Amino acid sequence: MRKQLGPASSTKSPALLQLKFLEIFKHQFTRKGKYIKPQHVKQGLTMENGPCLLCNKESELQLSHIIPSFVFRWLRESAGNGHLRMGTQPNLRAQDGLKRYWLCSSCEGIFSQSERYFANHIFYPYLKNSSSRFNYDSWLIHFCTSISWRVLCFFLTEGHVASYPSAAIEQMKKAEIIWREHLLGERLHPGPHQQHLLPMDQVASVQGKIAPNINRYLMRAIDIDLCHSHQSIFTYAKLGRFIILGFISESTPNRWRDTKVNAKNGTIEPKSYTLPAAFGDYINHKAQRISILLGEISEKQKRKIDASFRKNIDNYIGSDAHKAMVADIELFGETALK
C-alpha cells in the first residue's frame, strides 16, 4: 500500500525525534502525582529494590524497555547486517533500545501480555501484508497507553520538561495518573487522554521539498518525543511502521480523524487518515535531522559499515532495509544516497 506525501492535511504520516540516553533520574511520581527524589536510582548503580513506578510497591525492579524489545529485534534482524546505530550516537553500534529499572516483575508481566498481542496480531502481520484488515479488542488501548505512559515518564523523570510552562507540566501529571490507573485496571479507558495509532508504509510519490530518506524513516525508524504547541501536548512513539500518539492536551481533537484507538474493539485497515498539516512538516523535519546526524559518522566507522555491508551483501539484498532504500532511490535518485 503506497501513499503520496506532501503539504496537505490528509495523509498517513509519522514523526521522529532522536532517542536520548541520559542516565540520571531527576525525580519520579508518587501515587498522588507528586514528585519524590528516588534513593534507589543512580547512574551506574545495579538495581536491587525500590518502588515500582507503576504500582508503587516495594519490589526487586526489572530492567524495562521504553520501546518494547521486539521492535528493536525486528529492526536488527531486518537490517541485513544485524547492527543498529542510534541517531544520538551514530559512531557506536547498538543492540537494544532505552531501558530503565522502573517496574516490578508483576507490572512487567502486565505490559508483556499486551506487547505480545500487538506483535503477533498487528505488528508482524502488517509487515507481511499492509493491505489486510486487522481486528483488535481492549488489549490495543492497553498496549498504546503503556507506550505513551512510558514515554511520558521518561521525559518527566529525567528532567526534560523543566523549561515547559507550569500549566503544561500539571497537565502531564494528570495524564500520567489517568494512564497509570488505566494500566492497573482502575479505569476502563484513558478518558480525554486518548490514544491514536497511525500505520505507515512506503511513499509512492511526494510533493514539495521532502527529505530524501523519507521512506527509510517512515518504514523503519524507532523514536520517541514529547510534543508541545499552543494547541496540544502529546507523547509520540514510532515503532517501525507504527506511530502511537498519547494525547495529554488537545484543544481540537477533530483535527485527527480515523486514528483514535477504541477502548473495546476496532479495525486497522487501509484508509485515509486526516492529520494536522503541521504534523507532516514535523515528520519531514525529523527525517531530515536523522539524515544530518547519520552524516556525522566518522570516516573510521564508515569504513566499518562498508566492510560489514560487503560481507553481508547477500543478507542485505531483499531485506526490509534494502526495500526502504530502494523506495527512496525510486523517488529521489542519487540524492537518496547522499
For residue range 118-176, list pLDDT tens digits in order.
999 999 999 999 999 999 999 999 999 999 999 999 999 998 898 999 999 999 999 99
Question: Nearest-CA neighbor of 205 among 290, 326, 338, 330?
Answer: 330
- 133/245 Cα distance (integer angstroms): 21
β-sheet bridge partners, residue 228: 233
What is the Cα–Cα distance from 275 to 253, expressed in whole angstroms?
Answer: 10
- Quick one: cell of 270? 487501509
> Which pLDDT tens digit goes with each residue over 243-293?
999 999 998 888 999 999 999 999 999 888 889 989 999 999 889 888 777
Q: Residue 105 corresponds to which cell in the numbers above?
A: 516483575
Other C-beta atoms closer than 10 Å to the C-beta of 108 total 18
Instruction: Say which range, 132-136, 161-165, 294-298, 333-337, has the weakest mean pLDDT.
Output: 294-298
d(CA 182, CA 186): 5
Query: 31 or 60: whose pLDDT is higher?
Result: 60
| pLDDT confidence tier of residue 315, bands split at 50, 70 and 90 | confident
Which of 48-62, 89-103, 138-152, 311-325 shows the highest mean pLDDT? 138-152
Tell me what the mean pLDDT of segment 99-103 comes to: 94
DSSP string, 162-211: TTS-HHHHHHHHHHHHHHHHHHTTS-SS-TTS-EEEEE---EEEE-SS--
Q: What angle do CA 295, 329, 276 make, to 5 degrees?
A: 80
As a whole number of angstroms, the distance between CA 207 and CA 56 comes to 50
The mean predicted confidence, pLDDT, of the chain is: 82
**How far apart are the C-alpha atoms of 317 and 313, rounded to whole Å?**
6
Task: With H, G, I as helix, E, B as strand and everything else as coil, classify residue 81.
Answer: coil
320 CB-near residues (< 8 Å, 6+ apart): 78, 79, 127, 219, 220
Question: With 80 as the cut, is the pLDDT of residue 104 above it?
Answer: yes
Contacts of 303 (CB under 8 A, 6+ apart): none
pLDDT in tens, 187-242: 999 999 999 999 999 988 888 899 999 999 999 999 999 999 888 999 999 999 99
Strands 195-199 and 84-86, bridge-based pairing: unpaired
Residue 207 zone, left/alpha/beta (φ > 0; ψ -120 to 50; rest): beta
Report the percent of the chain where pLDDT is more than 90: 59
What predicted TM-score, i.e. pTM, was given to this entire model? 0.82
Q: In whole angstroms, what is the distance from residue 275 CA to residue 313 CA?
A: 39
Joined grid coordinates for residue 109: 508481566
User: CA 116, 119, 121: angle at the middle one, nearest 5?
Assistant: 95
What local confidence, expressed as pLDDT, does residue 86 receive? 56
